[in-house]
Structure 1
Amino acid sequence: MAITVTVCLLSGEAASVSLDPSRSVETLRAKASQALGRSVGKLVSSGGSFLRGRGSLADAGVQDGDTITVVTQKVALRATESAFAFIRADGSVVTWGDQWEGGDCSDVQDQLHDVQSIQATAAAFAALCADGRVVSWGNPEFGGDSSTVQWRLVDVSQIQSTSGAFAALRQDGTVETWGMPHLGGNCDLVYGKLQNVRQIQANDAAFAALRADGSVVTWGADEEGGNSQEVQQYLHGVRCIQRGFPGFTAIKEHGQVVSWGFIDPDVHLPGLDQAEGIYRTGLSDVKEMRMMGDTWAAVGSDERIKTWGYTGDRKKQHQLHAMRGVKRIIHNESNAWAAITNDGSVATWGEPCSGGDSRSVKRRLKKVEHIQASGSAFAAIRSDGGVVTWGVQDQGGNSQAVRKCLKNVKEIQASCAAFAALRADGTVVAWGKKNHGGDCSAVQEQLHDVTCIQASLGAFAAIRTDGSVVTWGPPSFGGNSSRVKEQLGRSQADDEAETRARAKARELARAKAKARAKARARARPAIAKAQAQRKAQAKAKAKAKAKPKAKAKAKAKAKAKAKAKAKVLKKPSQK
């Protein structure tokens, strides 16, 4: 016999839900989410206890007529290279994708409650809970196993990650690490110095900790910034640290920066005043600095830009330095760069084919508010909600196929070779390489009321208003979440929509195959005729080529015969 309970938000909004008492708490949560039209967090019973786990409502003591209070928190998504982790409104976590790289958290599921944030390496996750606990899972080598330091992972306030290790900052300013030792998972050599730390910065292979006195401690891969011994005497009075690709840069007062693990100290970047490890940028105060390969760029508090290294040519560098009102600089992984000014104009430099050359779209790059980068392309959102793309064509640099749909766009996310745009009406448009999430047609009907998008290396996940999640892209990158669809709040209507979309895709594929076969059949006589013509032409050509040869041969033969006859006739006369 079904029971009816009232689910109530703290705002006073309420709805009635009817279901069998043998159904699970998760079923109640899903029905409550549908009834209230929003994401449902923690469920509190009439007696004041939290309803957790997968047990039945009867086991939890829920009775007919009870009032269940809903407490919510903001939902969030994180991704490794091949898996996703979703923090639900109740503070629990759902994972999917490559199970070896973080897609399976079943071993620690009972510990994943009241989760506030998640960090990721290339193949593992670490969750920070409200009480300062840390829970990790995924590939053990990449930080998925924190058992060796688990007893010290208490009162944690922040977690940072390289590609293969985690670093946890505790409230007392001390630090704990785990994961691959050579990527920052072992800080034994500097453990005694990691006191009074107020910020940790990480790049792909090393960590840098900024202490309260303005000094800096580093560890991890030496060649990527883990060893700052050569510049340690200058690492004082540091205001903040910024990561490079690779290396780090410490920003000090009066436009001075200290960089390490980035370039060979014997290599001089043209235009950069370098004195024994301290770089004088020529800016009165550095607000932002970015580094990629052999290129540097800095923005001062006066909103001027300075660039060093590979910018294309001297004329381009002069143009960049003459710019004013620069508010942001962006680069992709192929060393192409873009700068946005306060008036919405854009300047680009660096690797031309990967986005460093934007002349083909220069007229459209006006009133730009934001730029997103894939591995080798850029996508710019204008103030009118339009989108402009450039760079490697098949990696998102060409959006011609979806250009009519790219209107009223408010956010763009990128995998390594595709883009996904969120429009103001909550719908989504994707383009780029299909095998990296550039095609969302299979879930297009489900992509409504979307509030935000997250990307892995080659797939996307969209969170809807009701807290449910829709994914697309290759399963190997986390694009298939069917295994946890109920936990992600997807309804029967979503399943039906996906079935229709897949059937439509199959029908379209069959129609295309049929059309290709028909076209080939129509073209067959013409092809046969063309082949016959080519054969006849080849034969005629060969015959024409052989005729002079045969004639020359016959002529030579006749000449030889005549010569022999003349020789025979000549012999009697000699006698």
Structure 2
Amino acid sequence: MATNNTKSFPGHTLGEFRNIFAFAALKDDGSVVTWGNAYVGGDSSAVASALNGAMDVVEIYSNYRAFAALRSDGSVITWGDLGGPFLGSDSTSVANVLNGTIDVIQIYSTENAFAALLADGSVYTWGFAQIGGNSSSVATALDGTNDVMQIYSTEGGFAALRADGSVITWGAYGGNSSSVASALNGTIDVTEIYSARYAFAALRADGSVVTWGNGHGADSSSVASALDGTIDVKQVYSTRDAFAALRVDGSVVTWGQIYNGGDSSAVAGALDGAIDVTQIFSAGYSFAALRADGSVVTWGTGGGDSSTVAGALDGTIDVTQIYSTDYTFAALRADGSVVTWGQGVNSSSVASALNGTIDVTEIYSTNNAFAALRADGSVVTWGGAAWRQ
């Protein structure tokens, strides 16, 4: 996976958490097949008749321990944690709004709760109450009178962006935005929201950034003057516990847990915009910034130390794309070769297959392994054996 997704950190993509115990596959005929840990989504026998393709499933969503399938009639089917149905597998409390009378168009998740966005702009939630499953305190703000356009999540909280540029939050870990309520009321439109594990960062139409939540990433006071919109922020990226803001002048501003990407002081001279940073990529605990000259600058834990491959990342041969696991990066260069660095995923055993003799065209990753697709159709894998089967 290319981890330049600006709203994600490993295991989390655009308001959704990956099930870490089971898989669900959507087949061409609209049916669903599941496998893995039977107690947390691998066994879907209880809802088999709803997943057999008689009514096509069009999308599958997940949290850590449950799945939710969106069907072509706008209805939703849920299954998963057999030991705790309150973790998202049991949606009976909102069954009357998930039956397709009003189409569900998108589903989002925290670790153990779901939020469904309906076609009328309203939102309904279920799962673990304290981490997003109970939105009763903001129900009137989510009833569709002011359409919700998009939902974002941390591990335990949701943030809903409404059509008027305002933001509504609930749950834990960013669910309480009272300290920044006046900055999220739509007077200045919020245009995008980004998240780490426990905090949110909202980009506003004036180029400023507002942060809130619990723990690392929530407090950006140390860089407040760099996020006030004097120089517009155009994109924000995150690791699990830190943020990096890319500004229109090509410079980068960081905050959050200092060891996990929040402190970029050691490479500040390379991130000041003298050479524009064009894109930032994240692993679980580190960042890699791609600059306009094809060079790469890194900081943080694990993949933050690229000193052993510095000569291969200096732009002599342009880096064109970067991929990651939790602790490791893999850079694809313009000559089709791959350069890797970080902790725990060693590519030395396949170095000759990654040297560009046969171009690598794309790289995919799990939390602890990589797979490189080459121009001749062959695939090269490296990393934890249990993660690359």
**What TM-score does the superposition give when structure 1 sets the normalisation length?**
0.57
Residue 90 (structure 1) aligns with: 29
**For residue 85 of structure 1, what is the amino acid of its counterpart?**
A
CA contact (8 A) 2:320 2:331 kept: yes
Q: Distance in 1 between matches of 2:373 and 2:264?
A: 37
CA contact (8 A) 1:370 1:382 kept: yes
Q: CA RMSD in A?
A: 2.4
Q: Distance in 1 between matches of 2:383 and 2:180?
A: 43
Q: 2:129 pairs with 176, 181, 200, which one?
A: 181
Q: CA deviation at 1:425?
A: 3.3
| 1:225 and 2:177 matched | no
Q: Distance in 2 between matches of 1:400 and 1:142?
A: 42
Residue 147 (structure 1) aligns with: 92
| More displaced 10-residue stretch of structure 1: 173-182 or 415-424 | 415-424
Q: 1:102 to 1:331 in 2, by over 3 A?
A: same
Residue 350 (structure 1) aligns with: 300
CA contact (8 A) 2:217 2:241 kept: no
Q: Distance in 1 between matches of 2:334 and 2:114?
A: 38
CA contact (8 A) 1:245 1:262 kept: no
Give the secondary structure class of the aligned counterpart of 1:239.
strand
| More displaced 10-residue stretch of structure 1: 164-173 or 135-144 | 135-144
Q: 1:151 to 1:266 in 2, by over 3 A?
A: closer
Q: Distance in 1 between matches of 2:120 and 2:359?
A: 46
Q: CA deviation at 1:245?
A: 2.7
Residue 240 (structure 1) aligns with: 192
Deviations 1:536-572 (A, max 9, x none): xxxxxxxxxxxxxxxxxxxxxxxxxxxxxxxxxxxxx
Residue 167 (structure 1) aligns with: 115
Residue 11 (structure 2) aligns with: none
Q: CA deviation at 1:430?
A: 1.7
Q: 1:177 to 1:315 in 2, by over 3 A?
A: closer
Deviations 1:98-144 (A, max 9, x none): 11121122222221231221111011111111221111111123311
**For residue 298 of structure 2, what is the amino acid of its counterpart?**
T
Give the secondary structure class of the aligned counterpart of 1:321.
coil
Residue 320 (structure 2) aligns with: 369
Residue 156 (structure 1) aligns with: 104
CA contact (8 A) 2:193 2:201 kept: yes
CA contact (8 A) 1:307 1:321 kept: no
| 1:289 and 2:241 matched | no
Residue 559 (structure 1) aligns with: none
Give the secondary structure class of the aligned counterpart of 1:193.
helix
Q: CA deviation at 1:329?
A: 1.2
Q: 1:156 to 1:243 in 2, by over 3 A?
A: same
Residue 50 (structure 2) aligns with: 111
Alignment of 1:30-109 (within 5 A): 80-109=19-48
The structure richer in strand per residue is 2
CA contact (8 A) 1:246 1:292 kept: no
Q: 1:323 to 1:297 in 2, by over 3 A?
A: farther
**For residue 287 of structure 2, what is the amino acid of its counterpart?**
W
Structure of higher RCO (CA pairs closer than 8 Å, 6+ residues apart): 2
Q: Give percent identity, aligned residues only.
A: 43
Alignment of 1:532-571 (within 5 A): none
Residue 129 (structure 1) aligns with: 71
CA contact (8 A) 2:319 2:334 kept: yes
Give the secondary structure class of the aligned counterpart of 2:106.
strand
Give the secondary structure class of the aligned counterpart of 1:272.
helix
| 1:256 and 2:197 matched | no
Q: Give the paired residue count.
A: 348
Q: Distance in 2 between matches of 1:411 and 1:266?
A: 34
Q: 2:330 pairs with 379, 384, 398, which one?
A: 379
Q: Distance in 2 between matches of 1:169 and 1:80?
A: 20
Q: Distance in 1 between matches of 2:374 and 2:364?
A: 12
Q: Distance in 2 between matches of 1:329 and 1:230?
A: 29
Give the secondary structure class of the aligned counterpart of 2:133.
coil
Rg (Cα) greater in structure: 1
| 1:316 and 2:267 matched | yes
| More displaced 10-residue stretch of structure 1: 244-253 or 289-298 | 289-298
Give the secondary structure class of the aligned counterpart of 2:294.
coil
CA contact (8 A) 1:307 1:320 kept: no
Q: CA deviation at 1:219?
A: 0.8
**For residue 351 of structure 2, what is the amino acid of its counterpart?**
R
CA contact (8 A) 1:305 1:323 kept: no
**What TM-score does the superposition give when structure 2 sets the normalisation length?**
0.83
Deviations 1:182-234 (A, max 9, x none): 1211111111111311111112211100111111101111xx10111111111
The structure richer in helix per residue is 1
Q: 1:253 to 1:150 in 2, by over 3 A?
A: same
| More displaced 10-residue stretch of structure 1: 244-253 or 260-269 | 260-269
Q: 1:282 to 1:337 in 2, by over 3 A?
A: farther
Q: CA deviation at 1:283?
A: 2.4
Q: CA deviation at 1:306?
A: 2.5
Residue 159 (structure 2) aligns with: 208
Q: Distance in 2 between matches of 1:212 and 1:109?
A: 37
